Chains A and B, each alone.
Chain A
């Protein structure tokens, strides 16, 4: 590790500690089905943060910047996976039964993934239990703006999840 800037490493550790919840939320939304994929995605996000951390221009809040970086990475990985041919190990394996609650949650994840990136951040943070005050501190938006925006997001989700 002698060739690595220790000051940068210390700043990096603090960046990860501040934004770990954000990174894990992206893994939950985009790689929850596969343990290895989720771990790989977390590591990829961490490495990308190492590479790009000094390019953060503070035009948005740090949490929003991390969220956008992480979601873009997750979407790139998803596009790559879609291009790879699927390997079917056996046709005879039965589909595992899906719990009803699990299926409903799947629909919620799919609906959230279709929202704009910043709206995904807001709704997932609220689902995690963030207060409007906490969210305002994370995003740099005013509380009033956040409430209005969140209301709109939920109505969009309701429309998408109608009948599911």
Chain B
């Protein structure tokens, strides 16, 4: 046929190429089965990680909703780091960088709740939570969002410490309660806590 005459000039080269590709490209059935097994294991692990991450986020949200909030606690509008006034406001004597004894501080500041940000990996043994009655009146709680200082920490009365950024097993220390969490802050919590954990877990699977 005319059309076959045209393609006939290519047939021999085509067949040689086909034989070569067949010998190079074909993967034995056993190897295909192993690839499928790996794929199924990875899919299962990812599902478990997603469920675990979702469960952790739901548990944290549930804690925030169910645990009682102290009615007389006022949360400052500024980040908790600003609870202590800037150093210039403190009475200074001698070396201005030296820590001041509690007796040198104004009486109201002695009651202030110190927030310490520990180097990554250490969770501070924070002092017992004290009501912030000594502070001047603050805006109502509903208008205040708890900021996220960095992707690694969620600020509460204690700290939630994230796992390492290097691929080690993630470690999460959850505080006994969250002071306050709003819907938009929950999204920040999700970005700060849930998603990095998922990324670490799936990275370990690769």
Chain A residues at the B interface, C-beta cutoff of 8 Å: 1, 3-4, 9, 12-13, 16, 20, 24-25, 27-28, 31-32, 35, 38-39, 41-43, 46-47, 50-51, 101-102, 104-105, 108, 123, 126-128, 150-151, 154-155, 157-158
With CB as the reference atom, state the residue of chain A lying closest to B38. A47
The 0/1 profile, CB within 8 Å of A marked 1, for residues 7-21 of chain B is: 100110111011011
Interface residues of A, dominant DSSP? helix
Which residues from A are CB-within-8-Å of B36?
4, 9, 12, 47, 50
Contact A24 B18 (CB under 8 A): yes
Partner of A28, one of B7, B10, B11, B18: B18
Partner of B7, one of A13, A47, A126: A126
Contact B21 A4 (CB under 8 A): no
Contact B10 A3 (CB under 8 A): no
Partner of B24, one of A20, A39, A101, A157: A39
* B3 at the binding interface (Cβ < 8 Å): yes
Contact A127 B27 (CB under 8 A): no
Q: How large is the interface on B (under 10, 10 to 19, 20 to 34, 35 or more residues)?
A: 20 to 34
Which residues from B are CB-within-8-Å of A27?
21, 25
* B26 at the binding interface (Cβ < 8 Å): yes
Contact A127 B32 (CB under 8 A): no
Distance in Å: Cβ of B70 to nearest Cβ of chain A: 49
Complex CA gap A157/B10 in Å reads 12
Contact A127 B35 (CB under 8 A): no
Contact A154 B6 (CB under 8 A): yes
Distance in Å: Cβ of B155 to nearest Cβ of chain A: 41
Contact A42 B7 (CB under 8 A): no
Contact B26 A20 (CB under 8 A): yes
Which residues from B are CB-within-8-Å of A28?
17-18, 21, 25
Closest 5 CB pairs of A and B: A154-B3, A38-B25, A28-B21, A27-B25, A35-B24
Contact B32 A24 (CB under 8 A): no
Partner of A151, one of B3, B24, B29, B35: B3
Complex CA gap A150/B3 in Å reads 8
* B1-58 interface (Cβ within 8 A of A): 3-4, 6-7, 10-11, 13-15, 17-18, 20-22, 24-27, 29, 31-33, 35-37, 39-41, 44
Contact A127 B7 (CB under 8 A): yes
Contact A1 B13 (CB under 8 A): no
> Known pairs A16-B29, A32-B20, A157-B7. 18 more at Cβ < 8 A?
A3-B40, A3-B41, A3-B44, A4-B40, A28-B18, A28-B25, A39-B27, A41-B25, A42-B25, A42-B27, A43-B35, A46-B32, A47-B35, A47-B36, A123-B7, A128-B18, A150-B3, A157-B6
Interface pairs (6), CB distance under 8 Å: A20-B26, A28-B21, A32-B20, A32-B21, A51-B39, A154-B6
Partner of B32, one of A41, A43, A158: A43
Distance in Å: Cβ of B177 to nearest Cβ of chain A: 40
Contacts A104-B10, A151-B3, A157-B6 hold; do A38 and B32 have CB atoms under 8 A apart?
no
Contact B39 A47 (CB under 8 A): yes
Distance in Å: Cβ of B37 to nearest Cβ of chain A: 5
Complex CA gap A50/B37 in Å reads 11
Contact A127 B10 (CB under 8 A): yes
Contact B21 A46 (CB under 8 A): no
Which residues from B are CB-within-8-Å of A157?
6-7
Contacts A46-B32, A108-B10 hold; do A32 and B17 have CB atoms under 8 A apart?
yes
